[in-house]
Amino acid sequence: MADNILEMKEITKLYPGVRALDNVNLAVERGEIHAIVGENGAGKSTLMNVLSGTIPIGEYDGTILYEGHKCHFKTVRDSEKLGIVIIHQELALIPELSIGENMFLRNERMGKFGIDWDETFCQAAKHLKQVGLKDSPTTLIKDIGTGKQQLVEIAKALSKNVKLLILDEPTSSLNSEDSKMLLDMLIEFKKQGMTSIIISHKLSEVAYVADKITVMRDGATIETIENADRSIDEDRIIRGMVGREMTDRFPKRERKIGSDVGMEVSDWCVNHPVYTEKRVVNHVAFNVRKGEIVGFSGLQGAGRTELARSIFGKSYGTAITGTLKVAGREVKLKNERDAIEAGIAYVTEDRKVNGLVLGDSVARNNTLARLEKVCQRGIIDVNMENKVAEEYKEKLRIKTPTIQQFVNNLSGGNQQKVLLSKWMFADPDVLILDEPTRGIDVGAKYEIYCIMNDLVAQGKSVVMISSELTELLGMCDRIYVMNEGEMVAEMGANDATQEKIMGAILKSKKGAKEESKGA
């Protein structure tokens, strides 16, 4: 019999009106990396919350066996005592405190007189070394990037003597380099005997790292697939997740690219808003034609979002120079309002922080960017507003009980659709979509792609910024590659490959490094 470190049996969790988990069974063998995949709302996070004690015993049915013993976790603390540590997708670190302070928060190293800081930072440094982080433990969290913060979370888990590490979407905000590093570290820990559970939407990563893959759908475990030889086919996983064969991950589209240019940017320079000396976008030029989807590839920090936001009514940066032409005419945009009126929409990469009013209804979010369209002399016609929202709900197939539902009650994919509908309602000619499919499941992704195809079919221009090369290659007509604030390559969809894009990035980097060596 297999040596299972964890067995969850017949776990059922009811929320008012929803069966979030329905007789779920999960067995995790000691020393393996076990992946859990499923669409948003399939119950993955709920299951992990049950395991970690975030959902206390009594609020769910079923039994948890850990190391052969029955568990009764009332709080997260109870599970941590036994070495079960969960790292949530949204990191729980306090930006104004140092790495060391964060690592031992609520677990302080006490000396005779209060906290023993020497011991704290010494211990912290030890665990940081284990995760390969060279920063000093006294560095503030806000001064290191997201990738490193993720590593600090893992180091924090190590400091708690973790035996079973649970990672919820650990790579969703990391670039591919950092992701790879993180996954390799998990494999390294596995060799040292640690067991991990990883929840991820990125199937390529799951296939790369996991020994077993459990697929969840609609609150139930569908199947557990063996992946000992790392040979699993992604389509095989998708089939389990969506319950049907996904013949094509990208919808087909008739390419009808117009000859008119929708938007043209030339000689565009932007400086950092705080460190005003620093160039973040350096003499960039690009264009997008009507009916065309243009992709922007690059590593995190390449300046793509900065470029997009500076175009969108100077909502980012200082000392912005260059010319911007919309439909052939030069425009000067002072603020976001001007940009919307000029026919530009910027759909943010961070729907929760920059995109939606979460504590407000679907209908009211839908109209916010162009409220005057449902107004007469400044007075809102609520009936018309609701009608508009109903139309978009139908058109984009937004899954919500009513349009009066608060947006924070929707799943990530549906929130993304609300965000898209908001900007489609603003009726732009050029849409800049920044990571439009980040953190959403395969089914919703496909639907977002379909919406993009509809938009270009109507003659609109779409700019897609994405860190997923496959989706850029699958959707775009042309791809621009940016690195360190500069445009380093432009290629047609037919010539572009993952290798070429990565090559363009790496070559430019190498060039930059050699230059600095020479200087």
Partner 1 sequence: MNASAIVKKYTMMIALVVVFIFFAILTGGRLLYAQNISNLLLQNAYVLVMACGMLLCILTGGNVDLSVGATLCLVAALAAQLLSKTALGAFATIGICMAVSFGIGAWQGFWIGHMHIPPFIATLAGMFLFRGLGRVLLASKTVSIANKTFLDIFSSYITVPGVDNTIYWSALIVGIAVALALILLTFVSRSKKARKGYEMKSAIAEYTQIAVIDLLIIAYTWQLAHYKGIPVMLLWILLVVLLYAFITSKTAFGRYFYAVGGNEKATKLSGIDTKKVYFWAYCSMSILAGFSGLLVASRIGSVSGDTGLTYELDTIGACFIGGASAYGGSGTVSGIIVGAILLGVINQGMSIFGLDNNWQYVVKGTVLLIAVIFDVVSNHKTGKA
Select 119 or 338, whichever has its Cβ closest to partner 1.
Answer: 338
Could you tell me the smallest distance in angstroms from the CB atom of residue 13 to partner 1?
A: 14
The sheet with strand 261-271 has its strands ordered as 279-289, 261-271, 318-326, 329-330
Q: Which residues bind partner 1 (CB under 8 A)?
A: 312-313, 315, 335-337, 339-341, 346, 348, 353-360, 364, 368-372, 375, 378-380, 382-383, 386, 406, 409, 422
Q: How far apart are CA 155 and CA 174, in angstroms?
A: 17
Q: How far apart are CA 501 and CA 481, in angstroms?
A: 7
Token pair for residue 102? 């964060």
Could you tell me the smallest distance in angstroms from the CB atom of residue 371 to partner 1?
A: 4
Could you tell me the smallest distance in angstroms from the CB atom of residue 359 to partner 1?
A: 5
Select 148 or 364, whichever has its Cβ closest to partner 1.
Answer: 364
Please name which of 173, 179, 228 lies closest in space to residue 204, comparing C-alpha atoms.
179
Token pair for residue 314? 């100077």
What residue type is 489 in one-letter code?
A
Q: How far apart are CA 306 and CA 274, in angstroms?
A: 13
Select 248 or 381, whichever has its Cβ closest to partner 1.
Answer: 381
350: three-class secondary structure by DSSP: coil
Select 92 or 228, whichever has its Cβ closest to partner 1.
Answer: 92
Select 357 or 457, whichever has its Cβ closest to partner 1.
Answer: 357
- Residues 197, 167 contacting (CB under 8 angstroms): yes
DSSP 206-241: HHHH-SEEEEEETTEEEEEEE-TTS---HHHHHHHH
Could you tell me the smallest distance in angstroms from the CB atom of residue 61 to partner 1?
A: 20
Give, as one character, the DSSP assignment of residue 352: I
- Alpha-carbon torsion, ordered 190, 195, 199, 201, to 10 deg: 20
- Residues 270, 317 contacting (CB under 8 angstroms): yes
Select 290 or 364, whichever has its Cβ closest to partner 1.
Answer: 364
Could you tell me the smallest distance in angstroms from the CB atom of residue 412 to partner 1?
A: 16
- Residues 67, 148 contacting (CB under 8 angstroms): no
Provide CB contacts within 8 A for 247, sequence distance 6+: none
Could you tell me the smallest distance in angstroms from the CB atom of residue 347 to partner 1?
A: 10
Could you tell me the smallest distance in angstroms from the CB atom of residue 443 to partner 1?
A: 25
Select 242 or 358, whichever has its Cβ closest to partner 1.
Answer: 358
Could you tell me the smallest distance in angstroms from the CB atom of residue 89 to partner 1?
A: 19
- The CA–CA distances, whole Å, from 498 to 172, 296, 327, 472, 494 equal 19, 13, 31, 10, 12
Token pair for residue 449? 């792609």
Radius of gyration of the chain (CA): 24
Could you tell me the smallest distance in angstroms from the CB atom of residue 342 to partner 1?
A: 11
Could you tell me the smallest distance in angstroms from the CB atom of residue 30 to partner 1?
A: 36
Select 116 or 429, whichever has its Cβ closest to partner 1.
Answer: 429
Strands 293-297 and 461-465, how do they pair? Answer: parallel
- Residues 182, 170 contacting (CB under 8 angstroms): yes
Q: Which uninterrupted H or E stretch holds 155? A: helix 146-159
Q: How far apart are CA 158 and CA 160, in angstroms?
A: 5
Select 134 or 334, whichever has its Cβ closest to partner 1.
Answer: 334
Q: How far apart are CA 498 and CA 495, in angstroms?
A: 10
Select 40 or 179, whichever has its Cβ closest to partner 1.
Answer: 40
Select 44 or 364, whichever has its Cβ closest to partner 1.
Answer: 364
Could you tell me the smallest distance in angstroms from the CB atom of residue 361 to partner 1?
A: 10
